[in-house]
Each structure stands twice: as C-alpha cells, then as structure tokens.
Structure 1
Amino acid sequence: MAISFNNALGIHQYTVGVRERNSEVISTNIAQANTPGFKAKGMDFQRALQAATSEASIGLSRTNGRHIAASTNVTGEVLYRVPNQPDTGDGNTVDVDVERNLFMQNQLRHQASLDFLGGKFKNLTKAIKGE
C-alpha cells in the first residue's frame, strides 16, 4: 500500500515554506529600516498558503529551445504595508518594533510547524517499522 504524503503530512508541509518566505520579507524590512524611501512589505499568509496548497505553478518562459523547461511554485504575493507611523521625512515606512514582533511570531509558528512535521515523520517511521 502506497503512502500519500499529502494525507500523512497535512498542511504543515506547506506552512513551512510559506513561513520561510515570510521570514525573508520581514528580515528585508528590518535590514532596510534606515534606507530613505524604502517601503515596508508584507505577505498575506492565508493567500500564500492557499497558493501553496493548490500546487499552482508559474511556467518560466524559454528563450531558446535548448533551455531546460522549469516552473516555480507560487508562494504568495508580496505587497506594501500600510504604515503604522507618520512619515519621518525620509519616506521610509518601516517600524522596526512592529517588524521584530512579526518576525518573532513568524519564527514561533515556523518552529511549531517543524515540530508537527517531526511528529508526523516519527509516526510514519514507527508505522513502517511495525512498532
């Protein structure tokens, strides 16, 4: 009998990737906190998760017939955030305190998904071994 990883692992296999992408976006905001004119960006986690679970992909165009055909999974759209603070005069919309809190929340949820996946793999290993 074949094991369906989609059924066995559930949604956590997708949340890990979306959380990693969200972490990249937030850390970019933190890194650009002092850059004049930089606009803070963010992801809609639910939309990104829906895109990841739908297994939608974007086909990459080939400009030459000898190029390898490839596609990439859609991991969510990155949008500009509505600023929480008034403009400080340099056009930068990053609020470092908000970004740090979002980063911490995202990392905690990422770790929770990894822990759930670890438990699922542990149970699959036990099932395979017949324990």
Structure 2
Amino acid sequence: MSINFKDALGVHPDALKLRAERTKILASNIANENTPGYEAQDMDFGATLQQIRDSGGTGFSSPGALSLDTDAPDNLYRVPYHPTRDGNTVEIGVEQAAFSQNASDFQTSLTFINMQLKGLAKAIAGQ
C-alpha cells in the first residue's frame, strides 16, 4: 500500500509555495517605499490558491508554471489610504502588517505539514 503525500498533506504544500511568492511581492513593496511612481502590489491569496486547487494542485509542478512575480497580471494594486504626490502607493505600515500576517500564516501551514509528516512517520513505524 503506497502513501499519497498529496492527499496526506492537503492544501498546505500549495499554500506554502504561494505564501513564499506573496512574501516576495510584499518585500518588493517595502523595498520600494521611497521609489517615485511605484505602485504597491499584492495578490488575492484565496482566489489564487483556489485556482491552483481547481487545476489539480499542479500550479507549481514546473518552474514558471504559475508565475507570480511582481509583473504578473494576476497581481492586484493597492489603493492607498493617503496618496502621495510622487505617485508611490506604498504605505509602510500596511505593507509591514501584511508581511507579518503572511509570515504567521506561512508558519501555521509549516506546522500543519510537520504534524502530518510526524503522524505518517509514526504510522509507518507502527506506533
């Protein structure tokens, strides 16, 4: 009897990869806080994860299969609470909060995967 890790781990491997991509986008926003004309970007995490799941979870099976770089058309632009005259829409407090929440969510998915793998290891060992 073989173990299907995709079924055993659920949505968390795809979520981890997507969270890593979102981290890159948010870090880019923070790095460009003082760049005139830079428009802050983000992604709709839930919708993108659902898109990956609907496609059979193969959104990340090959490099570049689902490109989520900062120029990807699926990225959304933030509407600033306080627009600046230079056209930069990065608000550092908003970006830092989003980055922190994303890091926390990444850690949560990582913890779930770790617990599931430990459970599988115990089952294999017959404990």
Instruction: Please state which band the TM-score falls in when normalised by the shorter chain.
Output: 0.7 to 0.9
Aligned to 1:66: none
The aligned counterpart of 1:129 is: 125
AA partner of residue 32 (structure 2): Q
Q: Using the alignment, how far apart are the partners of 1:98 and 1:121 within structure 2?
A: 35
Say whether the 8 Å CA contact 1:52–1:75 is kept in structure 2. Answer: no
Kindly report the root-mean-square deviation, in angstroms, between the aligned alpha carbons of the 2 structures.
Answer: 1.8
Tell me which structure has the larger Cα radius of gyration.
1
The residue correspondences of 1:28-67 to structure 2 (distance < 5 A) are 28-53=28-53, 54=55, 55-56=57-58
How many percent identity over aligned positions?
41
**1:80 CA drift (Å):** 1.4
What does residue 14 of structure 2 align with? 14
- The separation in 1 between residues aligned to 2:67 and 2:101, in whole angstroms, is 19
Whether the 8 Å CA contact 1:36–1:91 is kept in 2: the answer is yes
Q: Which of 76, 79, 82 in structure 2 is aligned with 1:79?
A: 76
Q: Residue 95 of structure 2 corresponds to which residue in structure 1?
A: 99
1:83–1:93 contact (8 Å) kept in structure 2: yes
Structure 1 unmatched ranges of 5 or more: 59-69
1:84 shift after superposition: 1.9
Q: Distance in 1 between matches of 2:125 and 2:43?
A: 41
In structure 2, stretches of 5+ residues that fail to align are 69-73
Aligned length, in residue pairs: 119
**Equivalent position amino acid for 2:88 in 1:** N
Look up the equivalent residue of 1:78 and give its one-letter code.
N
Q: Give the aligned partner of residue 24 of structure 2.
A: 24
- Structure 1 Cα separation of the partners of residues 10 and 59 of structure 2: 20
Q: Aligned partners of 1:108, 1:71: CA distance in 2, in Å?
A: 26
Conserved in 2, the CA contact under 8 Å of 1:57 and 1:72?
no
What TM-score does the superposition give when structure 1 sets the normalisation length? Answer: 0.83
**Structure-2 residue corresponding to 1:63:** none
Following superposition, the deviation at residue 74 of structure 1 comes to: 2.0
Post-superposition offset of 1:56: 4.8
1:93 counterpart SS class: coil
Report what 1:117 is aligned to.
113
Greater strand proportion: 1
